[in-house]
Amino acid sequence: MQPSVPSLHKGEQVFRRTRYQQGSLTCVKRKNGQVVWLFRWYEPDTHGGTVYRKKVLGSTEELRTESQARHAADALRLTINAEQAPKSVSVGALVEHYRTEELSDENQGKAFSTKQAYEFYLKNWIVPRWGDCSLENVKPVAVESWLKSVPRSRGSKAKIRNIMSALFNHARRYEWTDRNPISLVRQSAKRERVPEVLTEEELQALIPQLSERDRTLVLLDACTGLRVGELLGLKWSDVDFENGLLHVTRSVVDQIVGTCKTEASQKPVPLDSFLAYELRTWRSRCAYNQNDDWVFASPLTKGRQPYWPENLMKRGIRPAAKRAKIMKHISWHTFRRTFSTLLKANGEDIKTVQELLRHANSRITLDIYTQAVTPAKRAAQTKVVEMILPKSKEQKELEETLGKARISLSNPSEPTPSRAASVSA
């Protein structure tokens, strides 16, 4: 539908007032048989006339209902009428606009895992309840009351609240509203139960039950605190055997290679000498051991991708825990929490713990990072390794030599006894 454009004549010049473009939404079958939602509109050109435009919003498989298509159309209206203040904006339209601007693949400001989490809460909770509401009709008390009825943990409810707040801040930046009612919504994020961690005795019982691959994974995770995406995102080129460091530069989530969760996450991680030996052993026996290969490459993809973390957990680690008579529910994050707990049990200072876990907070963010790994951080990690893998008498004697010259890791043919041998013996 082509809108009429009022004009005001002044001499030979014509001043046209740009009108808010509503456009039209239709369902169209294309030549290839695909059925799509098509949005048409007119926009003013530089000569005072109008230009016909159209855009495919998505197929009927992507936008299954008319309501979803309308929300996508509303978001597009906000973009094509960027210079005009809309009379009313629905939450559904705001969500679609937020997806385009903040959650698209082109936007590298958020990690893939963060975008994935946002999409889950938007699709399953926020849009179904609030999608058809206009922004001015979203009230703090109503949102707070709704959150109480959501059958999820307090932590999940807090995430829903925070995402809704981010949506309203997005709307404020584009001047579609001057308020953020979510700032007045009260929602606790306090845990309802203490998360599972493993004791050092449980770890010692678990390790002998694991295959060599899973043993290497668990040791590396429990002694470095890497997030699972960072662990599976390691390539052999990231392992600095000579200096005893792991360079964490990427994260793999659902086989999508992306950036790490935070800037702090990209700091080098100290690599204890016995962990380095375990990695050397794994490298000498795995099929994919070149610098550009994944450390934990999957043979099913011929090394092109790392293993799926949940498959490793279901088929290897949890059955091994059951054989070790560990009744706790183990996830990949269990090892990261265990690392943190063991560090605290060792009496490490909070700064060392935060840096080893690479948590981003105001204090660490303000610090200027240097490439050197402090002796305190290296010593703290070694204590955790020793708790999990007790040293034999011979290994204690060997450590004096390792401490002076470290391991000759550049020579794979040179055998080095592993502290782990005493556990599996």
Look at 405 and 217; give whichever has higher pLDDT. Answer: 217
CATH 1.10.443.10 holds for 200-392: yes
Mean pLDDT: which of 15-19, 96-100, 236-240 is highest?
Answer: 236-240
Name beta bridge partners: 245. 240, 270
Stretch 169-196: mean pLDDT, rounded?
89
Whether residue 373 has pLDDT greater than 60 = no
Q: Is 360 a residue whose pLDDT tops 60? A: yes
Compute the C-alpha angle 23/25/26, nearest 5°. Answer: 140
Query: What is the Cα–Cα distance from 274 to 407, expressed in whole angstroms?
Result: 9
For 264-279, the pLDDT digits (tens) are: 566 789 999 999 999 9
Q: Which residues pair with 35 in a beta bridge?
A: 29
Mean pLDDT of the 239-261 span: 88
pLDDT value of residue 311: 95
| Higher-confidence position of 386 and 327 | 327
Confidence of residue 262 (pLDDT cuts 50, 70, 90): low
Instruction: Between 390 and 131, name the one with better pLDDT.
Output: 131
Of the pLDDT bands very low, low, confident and very high (cuts 50, 70, 90), residue 314 is very high
* Placement of tokens 């390792």 in the chain: 402
The pLDDT, as a whole number, for residue 8 is 35
Q: Coil, strand or helix: which one is 418?
A: coil
C-beta pairs of 3-9 under 8 Å, 24+ apart in sequence: 3/42, 3/50, 5/44, 5/50, 7/48
- Closest to 94 measured CA to CA, from 115, 80, 79: 79
Give a three-class secondary structure readout of 352-372: HHHHHHCCCCHHHHHCCCCCC
pTM: 0.61
CATH 1.10.443.10 domain extents, the chain: 200-392
Q: How far apart are CA 371 and CA 27, in angstroms?
A: 57
Q: What is the dotted CATH code of the domain comprising 85-193?
A: 1.10.150.130
Strand-strand pairing, 245-246 and 35-44: unpaired
Contact by Cβ (8 Å): 79, 91: no
Please name every residue paired with 40 in a beta bridge, in sequence order, or none if there are none.
24, 54
Q: For residue 229, is pLDDT > 80?
A: yes
Cα-based distances in Å from 193 to 189, 197, 198, 383: 12, 12, 16, 28
CA distance 213 to 416: 19
Nearest to 330 by CA among 180, 213, 228: 228
The confidence band for 381, taking pLDDT boundaries of 50, 70 and 90, is confident
pLDDT at 245: 94
State the architecture of 1-69 in CATH terms: Roll (3.10)
Is the alpha carbon torsion for 115, 121, 122, 126 positive or negative? negative
pLDDT of 356: 85
Helix (H) or strand (E) holding 269: strand 269-270
Residue limits of CATH 1.10.150.130 in the chain: 85-193
Residue type, 81: N
For 133-147, the pLDDT digits (tens) are 999 999 999 999 999
101 Cβ neighbours under 8 A, 6+ residues apart: 107, 170
Confidence (pLDDT) at 15: 36
